[in-house]
Each structure stands twice: as C-alpha cells, then as structure tokens.
Structure 1
Amino acid sequence: MANCSHNISKFLFIAILSNVLSTAQPLHAETVFATGQAFTLREAVARAQESAPGVQGAKAAVDSADAAVQAARLLPNPTLSVEAENILGTGRYARFGGSETTYSVAMPLELGGKRSSRTRVAQAEQSAAQIGVAVAKADLTLKITQAFIAVAASERRLRIADQRRELAVQTERVAHLRVGAGKVSPIDEQRASAQRLRADVDAGRAARATEVARANLARLIGATQPLAIVAPWFDDTSAEAGIDAPESSLSRAAAEAQVAAARARVDSARRARIPDLTVSAGTRRIKETSDTAAVVALSIPLPLFNRGDAEVARARAELDKAEAERNAAALDLAEALASARADVTDARASAISASGPELAAAQEAARIARIGYAEGKFSQLDLIEAERSLSQTQEAAIDALATFHDARARLARLLGHLDPIYKD
C-alpha cells in the first residue's frame, strides 16, 4: 500500500511538473490581464501626446510666441490730438470767444530698424518655443516608454509568481501523500505548507504591483481604466546597443535657440538707442476770423539722461550667460551620452546572460530537482534550494531586461528622439 502511494505521488508530481514546465518555460509569451484593446508602445505614445498637459502647455507657449511675432511686426499707433487755446480768459477771451482749435495727428517713425530687430527677437523666442514642444514630446515619450517597461516587467513577474504558487500547491500535495505513505517526515509537509503560503503572498504582491503599473500607464495616456499592453520587444535583446543620433540633440538645440534670442535682444537694445522721430500734421481753426491754417511739427527725444547703455549692457550680460549655459550643456550632453551608451552596452550584456545561459541552467537544475524529489532521490531541501535559485534567476532576468530597455530609452531621450525606440 505504501509502495502504491509512493508511485501515485511520483506519477502525480511528474505529471504536474510537465504541465508547469510547458507553461513556465518561456519568458517571451505575451500576457494580457485586461479586457478590451491592447495598446502598443507607439499607440500609447500617440494617444498621450494628444492630451498630455506638458505637451499642451508647450503648444500654448508656441501660440503665444506666434502672437508675439505678429505684434512685433505692427507699426506704432498714431496719436490724435485736439487742442484749444485762448479759452476761459478775460475780456474778449472769456469763455470761447477768441479760441483757436487745433486738430492734429502725430505718427511716430521708428528709426534704425527697430521694428525689424524687434521682430527678430520675437522670431527667436518663437523658435525656442517650438523646440520646447519637441522637448515636451521627447520627455513624454521617455515617460510612456518607462511606464510600458514597468508594466511588461510586472506582468512577467506575476506570471512567474503564479507558476511558482501552482508548483508550491502541487508540492504540498505530494508532500502530504508521501508523509501519509510514511516515506518522509511530517516536517516535509509543514515545510511545503510554509513554501505554499509564501508563494501565495508573493503572487498577491505581484498582482497588486501589476495593477498599479498598469493604472499608472493608463493615467499617463488619459485612459479611465488599466490598460492591456503588447510588448514583444521586452524579451528581445537582439537590438543594437547604440541608437542612431539625429543631427542635433534637443538640449543642444534649446541652448542654441536661447543664444540666438539673446543675440537678437542685444541688437534690439543697440537699435533702441537711436531716437525716434514723431511727425505731426493738422489744422488750426481761428474762431475770431473763421480762418484755418495747417499745423506741422517734428519732435525727437533728447538722450540726455538715458542713453540706453544700461539696456545694452544687460542684454550683453544675458548673451554671455546664454553662451555659457550652451557650452555647459554641450559638456553635460557629451558626458551623459558617454555614460548612457556604456549603460546600454552593459545592460544588454547582462540581459543576454541573465535571460540566456543563466536562466537555462537554473531551469534545468530545478527540473532535475523536481524529478529527483518525486523519485525520492533528492531531499525536499534540495528541491527548495533549486526552486529558490530559479526564482532569483528569473527575477534577475526580468530586472536585466527592464534595465536594458530603460537604458535604451534614456539614451534615445538624450539624443532627442521623439518617436518610440520600439515600433512593435
């Protein structure tokens, strides 16, 4: 009877082992945990850019800059004047008896190319605002990609945790049968129960982490419920470590735009020192004789107290500051790119190793331990140790893949890529 029970437990455990191995083998299978549409990375980024506050704010800044360009091109407004002389006096000048009324229009004439220089300042600020939109989109692409990576990694952790829990349940069942058959000590059953309880806790934690990651992604793209995703690229380490660089990174372009705007302000400040001429023309009516006469006037300010030197000095200082920040940004970018490329290369090597030979060795060791335990050749402690090693290796593989994709996404952001690095 005991031998029969042993054979039954052996057959049961091997059957369970085959079933679990058939579902647990790949880390590459896609798992969808939500009903409804499953989003790719490209679709998620496109949807987020439609409503993301950062992108919308950057676009509003462009609209403001466009309006500023239009305003800079406008001519100054003329001034309409009405003057009454010789009124409210005494004698013949009492009330309006001898009044003289003048109607005139004064038109400022901007000299020295002030309007064109003012327009160039507005256009430079417009270019900076347009680069700001690209920066906002690149930042959003990075944020969505990182959220996608978090969801993909959490889904795989959940799948592994569920498989581990199922195996722990079956191991507990086999331990119960073997204790009943008198083949092992009751301690084995208690130990198996403890392992099953721990697996339940781990699976619950993984499920909650997955829901949080999916809810975070949903919030980023403006969805009302957690999203299902499609990310076949997560398990792929064949992507090249490097990423093609565009002609200019966004940080460098933004710094250059600030320098261009500062130079335009220096030119505008210099031209503002040239006094403007105001031309007035009108007509005067002399009430006493009912005659009319033309009135013409020219006026120009005298730069006695404010020659504009302070404004020029301030503009030059701002230009010096913008150039220094541009040079600092170039140095920071070069350092960040070198570090990011090294991170990608290191992360790729770790991901290839962790998800390849290391994982295969741990899976084979666990398989042998399961079969050996079912046949009574290995102790339960050997099985637990093999399972723990496999669990740690699987977690390390997922972490390495997530680190690799995150490093690539950060490198793409430094290079100024607006589109996702993975085309699904």
Structure 2
Amino acid sequence: MNRLLAALLAATSPLSAAQAKSAPTAEAPPGLTLEQALDLASATAPSLDAAGAGVDAARAAQAAAGLRPNPILTVEAENVAGTGLYSDTKSLEATTSLALPLELGGKRSARLAIAAAQRDRAFIEQAVARVDLRFAVTRAYAEAAASERRLANARDQLRIAGEGLHAAHVRLRAGRASPMEVQRAELARINAQAALVRMERSAETARFILAQRIGQAIPGALDAGWFDRIGTAPGPLQPLELTETLALAAANADLAASSAQVRLARTQRIPDLTVGAGVRRLEATNDSAALFSLSLPLPFLNGGKAAVGQALAEQRRAEAQRRATAQEVAQAIAQAQAEAANAAIGAETATGPALAAAEEAARIARIGYREGKFSQLDLLDAERTLTETKAAAIEALLAYHNARAQLERLTARAPDQGDDR
C-alpha cells in the first residue's frame, strides 16, 4: 500500500470508527441457538443413553451387593437300588435338610462399600458424558458459525472482485488502464470464485456435522450474535479446588473402590460358617430323627494372602494415579485459563481496530482506483489485506469459543455425592 493510501487511511480511520460506533445496528433474529442445539443433542445422544445405562447397572449392582447368601435345601436318599436288603426301599433312609451360609468378617459391608464407590463412579461418568457432549456440540456449533462467516466473506470477495473487474473494463475503455489490469482483475475474480466453492463445501460439511450432533437437520441460520460475543477476558490465574472437578472426583472414586477392595480381600481370609438342620426318615423302622450340621472351610491351601497383596497393589496404583491426575488437571486448567484469556484479547483486537482499519483501507482504495488516484496493485493489496484480516477475525473468534469451551469442560463440577440423583 503506497504512502498516499496510508496517509489517507490514517486521516479517515478515526472518523470511520466514530461513525461505526454511532451508527445504530439492527441485529438479525437468531436462528438455531447454542442452547437449543444442546437441548436437541441431549435428547438423542447415544453417549448419554450409555451413561444412563451404566448408572442403572451400578444401582442394580449395589442392590445385589447387599443381598445375603441363599439358603440351601438338600434332599438325600440312601440305601436304595442296591442288593440284598437294599434292593428295594425297605431300608431307605431319606434326609431333608436346610443349610444357611453365614458370612463372617464384614464381607457384606465390604461388598456394599465397593458397590457404592462404583455407583459414584457411574454418576461421575454420566456427568462426564454430559460435559463432553456439551463440549463437542459447542465446538461443532462454533465451527458451523465460523464456516457461515467464511462463506459470507468469500461471497463478499467474489462480489468485490466482480466490481473490480467491471471497473477495470471501464478504465480500459476510457484509455486509463492497460489490458494487463483487466487480466489481473479477471484472475482475482477466478480465485474468489474458487474460494467461494471451497467455503460452500466447508460450510455444508460443518452444518452436516452439527446436524448429526443434534439429531436433526438445521432449520436455518445459526445465532450470529453468539459467535460475535466476547465475554470478559479472564483475569489472573485463579486457584481452583481440584477435588470439585470431574477428573479428580473420578480418581477419588477409583481410590475408594480400591480401598474397599482391600477391605473385602481381608474379609475373605475369614472362613464363613454354614449351619444346617434337617430330618431323616428311616423306612425300615418307620422312625424319624433330627440332624444338625456345621461346616467350616479350612484355609490351609489358600489363605487369601495373595489376594490381599493384589488388592493393596491396586490401591497403591489408584493413589498414584490420583496424584498424577491432580497434577495433570492443575496444569491443564492453568493452560486453559491462559489460552482463554489470550483468545479473548486476540478476538477483541482482530474484530475491533484491525478489522475497522482494513475495511476503511479497502473502501478508500476502491474509490481511489475508480477515480484513477490509486493503481490496481494498491487496490489488490488493500483487498488482500481486508480478506486476510476478516479471515483472521473469524479464526480468532473461533479460537476464543473453543478455548472457553475447553475451560468450561475442565472446570466442570462433579455431581454432589449426597444427592439422590
């Protein structure tokens, strides 16, 4: 851009900026909003169905863990189908007994503790599924909105290129331009047409991906106002109670389950009793007699020591994994906070002074080219700068929304373990 153009831009940019601020803006009614997209996605998401089934399974497992062993009914027939005195049923001895296993050492409460930890883990996984779905839908929505902006930008560039070609023909007929200028303008129009085709394909793909997420076709345009809105840039990095995050809550649930498993392994070393009572009928004398039984396993070959050692090793691993998760979550949140803050600043800059200056420079260059004050190279340079600045503004807004979505995902709070869900 030559010195005359730069000087003119410097002189008129403040005025244009003031006019832009004072001019009233009419916001178009929003189409499909992000919240509507999230509601539609939540109603049809397979991941939420799977997470809900996992919760149901954990509840059923918890109910099963609290059940006591079933009694055992035994019917025996002795001294039958033999030889001699035992060839028929004259010497039959029939015994009917009922045995009841008795769990000792707190096995049932240990099972319940494991089931409770697994239930809490299932609820956390359900919350993670919701957060991941929101993150995915938000990213898909932002990408679709960005593709709409890219498409609109490509259409503008094609229109501007067509106007530039028309101006070049007018200047050629007036003898103020060479055929080379017409060829350059034609090349710019061809490139703008190719860019428009690419942007149309990208926009169609982005809308298709979003439609797959929400489970239905997108009825109209997206909420352009949402894509333009930039929240307050985050301040200095704030410490976060990591135990409130989903990742740490999941690690804590895994640790609780492993600790309960250690407890269960230790209780397994205590043998269970089986007590029984029954009645025996002696066919030969037509008499009946009561009987009682008591059985107790002898843990000579398998005392459960190996199982306890395995459970303790799993507990140590869960504890180490929890510490590693705490470090990773703290680092990820700090990085996400920084990226969100930087993205907010970048989006404000790209959509504010930089874009206004590029638009004003392009406007001046078009007027000056038509009036013969600027060369075609000045015009092409100004248009290229405007295109790049608009593209940078779109990408900056997209980066901002993605950074905010990632930060919200990392800082999502775990469900309250005390509620009834």
Output the TM-score relative to the length of structure 1.
0.87
Q: What's the counterpart of residue 285 of structure 1?
A: 281
**Residue 343 of structure 1 pairs with residue 339 of structure 2:** yes
Which amino acid in structure 1 is aligned with residue 167 of structure 2? V
1:215 to 204, 208, 211: 208
Q: What's the counterpart of residue 132 of structure 1?
A: 125
**Residue 361 of structure 1 pairs with residue 354 of structure 2:** no
| 83-92 or 253-262, larger mean C-alpha shift | 83-92
CA distance in 2, matches of 1:204, 1:226: 22
Which amino acid in structure 1 is aligned with residue 409 of structure 2? R
CA distance in 1, matches of 2:174, 2:362: 25
Contact 2:233 2:340 in 1 (8 A): no
| Partner secondary structure for residue 182 of structure 1 | coil
Deviation, structure 1 residue 135? 0.6
Contact 2:244 2:413 in 1 (8 A): no
Deviation, structure 1 residue 179? 0.8
What are structure 1's unaligned runs of at least 5 residues? 1-21, 33-37, 419-424
Q: What's the counterpart of residue 171 of structure 2?
A: 178
Deviation, structure 1 residue 95? 2.3
1:91 to 84, 101, 107: 84
Alignment of 1:112-261 (within 5 A): 112-224=105-217, 228-241=221-234, 248-261=244-257
Q: What's the counterpart of residue 373 of structure 2?
A: 377
CA distance in 2, matches of 1:79, 1:166: 86
State the Cα deviation string for residues 145-169 of structure 1 (Å, max 9, x = none): 1111101111111111111111111
Cα gap change, 1:27/1:303 in structure 2, threshold over 3 Å: closer, same or farther? Answer: farther
Cα gap change, 1:228/1:210 in structure 2, threshold over 3 Å: closer, same or farther? Answer: same
CA distance in 1, matches of 2:406, 2:25: 24
What are structure 2's unaligned runs of at least 5 residues? 1-19, 415-421
Cα gap change, 1:227/1:95 in structure 2, threshold over 3 Å: closer, same or farther? Answer: farther
Which amino acid in structure 2 is aligned with residue 249 of structure 1? T
Contact 1:161 1:199 in 2 (8 A): yes
Deviation, structure 1 residue 29? 6.1
CA distance in 1, matches of 2:246, 2:90: 73
Cα gap change, 1:391/1:30 in structure 2, threshold over 3 Å: closer, same or farther? Answer: farther
| Partner secondary structure for residue 244 of structure 2 | coil
Which amino acid in structure 2 is aligned with residue 265 of structure 1? Q
Give the fraction of aligned pairs with identical amino acids, expressed as a percent. Answer: 48
Q: What's the counterpart of residue 329 of structure 2?
A: 333
CA distance in 1, matches of 2:111, 2:279: 34
Contact 1:215 1:227 in 2 (8 A): no
| Partner secondary structure for residue 39 of structure 1 | coil
Contact 1:252 1:330 in 2 (8 A): yes
Deviation, structure 1 residue 31? 9.1
Q: What's the counterpart of residue 406 of structure 2?
A: 410
Deviation, structure 1 residue 232? 1.6
Which amino acid in structure 2 is aligned with residue 313 of structure 1? G
Deviation, structure 1 residue 274? 1.0
State the Cα deviation string for residues 189-214 of structure 1 (Å, max 9, x = none): 12111111111111121111111101
Contact 1:214 1:226 in 2 (8 A): no
Contact 1:109 1:276 in 2 (8 A): yes
CA distance in 1, matches of 2:410, 2:24: 33
